[in-house]
Amino acid sequence: MSTSSSARPRRNSVPATGAARRGSLEERLGHRFRDPGLLEQALTHRSFGSPHNERLEFLGDGVLGCVIAEELYGRFSGAAEGELSRLRASLVREAALADVARSIGLSAFLRLGEGELASGGADRPSILADALEAALGAIFLDGGYDSVRASVRRTFGEALARIDAGESAKDAKTRLQELLQARREKLPAYRVVSTAGAAHKQVFEVECLAEGLNLRATGSGTSRRNAEQQAAANLLKKVGA
């Protein structure tokens, strides 16, 4: 018996990842999937349907942390444990993951429900970060740890090359505050512009205002703190710092 159109789940217009599209993304990730279904699941947001990517995100988060820790341990032989932890946090925070996801064009492959698509979910940092972690979790299941390590080295290569042991110890809010203090300007002000999503998965949008510089920037994240950090980072970019 056929199913009426009204009974079907409402989804976005992006088709399931076909062979050609999948191949393009696999090239950017540096891994050819033996089980393409794992990659498709990694790209599926819960708003689109099940199986979605939240379990793979959990796995990818752990694997990514391990690979980044290994990379930093090898690159900064003189760094203490606390410094290595701060460096790792700077690379795996939501805004940094979203930047890596954008660098490989991940948003074009996401499977989102109509509501998320209409509200700009394809470029929302939390969704991009989660999907990237899920993709790494999928690679781990498909090819093992060595495959994930190769993918992280490929996709995080520029971020790893740019990282500075001294600078990365300070988060964006601290760096912005110090910059403004050095210029004898007022400290930045933060305010919540909007919140969206269910209570257990809210997305905050925060504005950061540097009144003395007549500059402002916004950021979003799954907590107010993360959103403030992204807003501060975006304002630092405007300052050129």
Q: What is the pLDDT of residues 77-100, one digit of tens each?
A: 888 888 888 889 889 988 899 999
What's the mean per-residue pLDDT of the chain? 86
What does the buried/exposed string (b/e) look like for 179-204 if buried means 16 or more CB atoms within 10 Å of the residue's CB?
Answer: bbeeeeeeebeeeeeeeeeeeeeebb
Residue range 223-235, pLDDT digits in tens:
888 899 999 999 9
Beta bridge partners of 195: 204
CA angle, residues 77, 78, 79, in degrees to nearest 5: 100
What's the pLDDT score for residue 9?
Answer: 41
Confidence (pLDDT) at 5: 39
Model-wide pTM > 0.85:
no
Cα separation values, 106 from 65, 97, 125, 133, Å: 20, 11, 11, 11
pLDDT digits (tens, 9 = 90+) for 32-59: 999 999 999 999 999 999 999 999 999 9
What's the pLDDT score for residue 23? Answer: 80
Q: Which residues are catalytic?
A: 61, 133
pLDDT at 163: 81
Contacts of residue 2, defined as CB under 8 A and 6 or more positions apart, other chains included, come to none
Residue 113, beta-bridge partner list = 11
Question: How far is 94 from 235, CA to CA, in rounded Å?
Answer: 17
- Residue showing tokens 């990282």: 163
Residues 96-135 have pLDDT tens digits of 999 999 999 999 999 999 988 888 888 889 999 999 999 9
86 HSE (CA, 13 A, CB side) = 15
Residues contacting residue 86 through CB under 8 Å, at least 6 positions apart: 168, 169
- Domains of the chain and CATH, by start: 12-169 (1.10.1520.10), 172-239 (3.30.160.20)
Q: Which of 115, 53, 95, 104 has its CA nearest to residue 237? A: 95
